[in-house]
Amino acid sequence: MPRRIVFKSGDFAVTESVEVVYESKVTLFGDSAKVGAPKKFIGKRAYVVILKD
């Protein structure tokens, strides 16, 4: 199935089968950073979008 992601000023659209959408903070993890996700999503694909504050 082809994937299509459209970015427009202020808009974000994903045309793909989406299981869930949620918001999470980027946190410190050693010398890097991470975004936490529930264990039930281990092995799943994910999109990470960094937003302006």
pLDDT of residue 28: 94
CA distance 31 to 41: 24
pLDDT of residue 53: 67
pLDDT of residue 21: 81
Three-class secondary structure of residue 27 per DSSP? strand
Do residues 36 and 27 make contact, with C-beta atoms less than 8 angstroms apart?
Answer: yes
pLDDT of residue 4: 80
The whole-model pTM stands at 0.57
pLDDT of residue 20: 84
For 1-52, the pLDDT digits (tens) are 667 877 777 777 878 888 888 888 899 999 999 998 889 989 988 888 877 7
